[in-house]
């Protein structure tokens, strides 16, 4: 396979042709939400213009076309993540809802006093708060895998932490540190201890090859909008025998097989978990995003991002020296393209403001990971994150703008 021309990809993304404050937009916030190519916009536009009706149950041709488009998106997602059965792919609103589904359905049915759920210190709030909400109701214990050196998890007490636990829920990649967690080791240890494993794969599915069957997890959650798809759609993949046993999460139309004045019978998986009109055109958009990603190749995307991250880390340290701290693993191949930056003497919020005046979009704050930030001893970082449409010119713009922020705030 020939190496894709990443520099040429930018032209597929209309928003990347625009300017901010008279400067070309340098978009470095894809870890929060990516941009989308014309192909995704066209697919959604076509669906709304030519093939839109509510899905399922309609007998007219348009309803059938919409249902086919929605269900073929499910097939694409299943193939993309290596799901053995496309019915194991549940469409949600976003990864947050997917994790709430696991906590609210599986957690509420299976957790009680004396039980334990194991999380890590680098989780996003989306993989913390849903468990705390069910904990308040059910009274189980939450244990935390601590942070070790170089932005990695400290696994020395892993077996003790997993002892007697019913579930481990862990991010595949930290949205703050970029750390790629050792899922093989974590899943093997959890299963040995008799615990299920839920993976918050929001930060990894868009950026590297994912195969849920090989991964061996029990649940995997991710969002469409971080992988060139639209906002408003997320995915929960789960093992069929677990999904079949779980009670419904949200109630309403579409998730029942029968309703009487006395009660209801839930429908089969995945309909059981898709109450109400689903994100129909969003699913079509996600399908088109997957087509786009596959046309480039996930391994090529990963390689491009490793090279770009290495380039940016080197450029930052050469230009700004000790005044810049990048949190997380120092070795680019052990991390994703997420750089959480501390610039000495300038608060992250001010950094981001100055960068914006250069057209450079980065995100300041705690990145919805307050326990981790407390552990790192910072209350905010400026986070720059790369995706397939970024190149070394974007990294150069970042470094230039940071140098300007530093001189602006120099005493």
Partner 1 sequence: MSDLEDLYREIILDHYRSPRNSGELEPPAHKAEGFNPLCGDEIVVYLQLDDDNTIADIKIGGQGCSISQSSASMMSAAVKGKTVEQAQELMGSFKGLMSIADKGEELAEPTPAEIRELGDLAALRGVVKFPTRIKCATLAWNTLDQAISETQSAD
Site for partner 1, rule CB under 8 A: 347-350, 353-354, 357, 364-366, 370, 373, 379-380, 408-409, 411
Order the strands of the 381-385 sheet from edge to edge: 324-327, 338-343, 381-385, 363-365
Q: Name which of 99 and 355 has its Cβ closer to partner 1.
A: 355
CB of 52 to partner 1, least distance (A): 35
314 vs 349, which CB is nearer to partner 1?
A: 349
CB-nearer residue toward partner 1: 120 or 352: 352
Nearer to partner 1, 246 or 368 (CB): 368
What separation in angstroms does the CA of 81 have from each of 75, 199, 215, 221, 290? 10, 13, 10, 11, 10
Closest CA to 151 of 182, 170, 124, 174: 174
Neighbour-count burial of 28, counting CB atoms closer than 10 A to its CB (0-12 exposed, 13-18 middle, 19+ buried): buried
- In order of 54, 55, 199, 270, 314, the CA distances from 58 in angstroms are 7, 7, 35, 18, 57
Catalytic residue among 69, 368, 388, 399: 368
Minimum separation from the CB atom of position 236 to partner 1 (A): 26
Shortest Cβ 347–partner 1 spacing (Å): 4
Measured CA to CA, the distance from residue 241 to residue 273 in angstroms comes to 14
Please state, in angstroms and rounded to a whole number, the distance separating the CA atoms of residues 109 and 111.
6
Nearer to partner 1, 31 or 373 (CB): 373
Distance in Å, CB of 65 to partner 1, minimum: 42
Question: Annotated catalytic, 198?
Answer: no
Contact 183, 173 (CB under 8 A): no
Pick the closest to residue 273 from 240, 305, 250, 295 (CA basis). 250
What minimum distance in Å lies between the beta carbon of 367 and partner 1? 9
From residue 399, give the alpha-carbon distance in Å to each of 27, 61, 252, 277, 402: 14, 54, 51, 45, 5
In SS3 terms, 147-175 reads as ECHHHCECCCCHHHHHCCCCEEEEECECC
> Which CB sits closer to partner 1, 72 or 357?
357
Shortest Å distance, C-beta 382 to partner 1: 10
Q: Which is nearer to partner 1, 47 or 338 (CB)?
A: 338
Give the residue among 74, 115, 335, 371 at the shortest CA–CA distance from 208. 335
Residue 185 φ/ψ, nearest 5 degrees = -65, -45
DSSP 88: G
Minimum separation from the CB atom of position 294 to partner 1 (A): 35
Q: Could you give the residue numbers annotated as active site?
A: 368
């Amino acid at each position: 396979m020939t190496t894709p021309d990443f520099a040429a990809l930018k032209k597929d993304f209309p928003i990347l042709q625009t300017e901010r404050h008279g400067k070309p937009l340098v978009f470095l916030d894809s870890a929060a939400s990516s941009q989308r190519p014309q192909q995704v916009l066209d697919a959604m536009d076509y669906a709304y213009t030519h093939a839109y009706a509510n899905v399922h149950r309609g007998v007219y041709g348009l309803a059938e076309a919409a249902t086919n488009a929605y269900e073929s998106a499910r097939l694409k997602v299943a193939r993309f993540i290596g799901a053995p059965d496309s019915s194991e792919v549940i469409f949600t609103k976003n990864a947050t809802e997917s994790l709430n589904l696991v906590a609210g359905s599986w957690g509420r049915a299976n957790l009680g006093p004396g039980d334990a759920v194991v999380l890590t210190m680098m989780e996003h709030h989306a993989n913390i708060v849903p468990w705390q909400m069910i904990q308040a109701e059910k009274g189980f214990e939450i244990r935390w895998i601590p942070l070790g050196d170089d932005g990695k998890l400290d696994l020395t007490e892993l077996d003790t932490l997993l002892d007697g636990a019913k579930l481990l829920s862990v991010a595949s990649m930290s949205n703050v540190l970029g750390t790629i967690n050792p899922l093989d080791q974590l899943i093997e240890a959890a299963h040995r201890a008799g615990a299920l494993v839920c993976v918050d794969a929001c930060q990894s599915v868009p950026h590297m090859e994912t195969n849920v069957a090989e991964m061996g997890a029990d649940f995997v959650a991710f969002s469409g909008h971080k992988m060139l798809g639209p906002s408003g759609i997320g995915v929960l993949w789960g093992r069929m025998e677990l999904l079949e046993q779980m009670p419904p999460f949200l109630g309403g139309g579409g998730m029942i097989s029968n309703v009487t004045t006395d009660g209801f019978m839930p429908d089969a998986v995945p309909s059981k978990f898709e109450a109400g009109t689903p994100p129909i055109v969003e699913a079509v958009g996600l399908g088109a995003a997957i087509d786009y990603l596959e046309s480039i190749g996930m391994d090529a995307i990963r390689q491009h991002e490793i090279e770009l991250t290495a380039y940016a880390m080197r450029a930052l340290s050469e230009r700004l020296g000790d005044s810049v701290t990048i949190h997380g693993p120092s070795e680019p191949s052990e991390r994703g393209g997420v750089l959480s930056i501390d610039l000495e003497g300038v608060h992250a919020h001010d950094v981001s403001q100055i960068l914006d005046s250069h057209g450079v979009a980065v995100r300041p704050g705690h990145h919805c990971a307050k326990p981790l930030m407390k552990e790192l001893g910072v209350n905010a970082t400026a986070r720059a994150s790369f995706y397939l449409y970024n190149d070394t010119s974007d990294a150069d713009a970042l470094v230039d703008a940071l140098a300007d922020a530093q001189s602006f705030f120099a005493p």
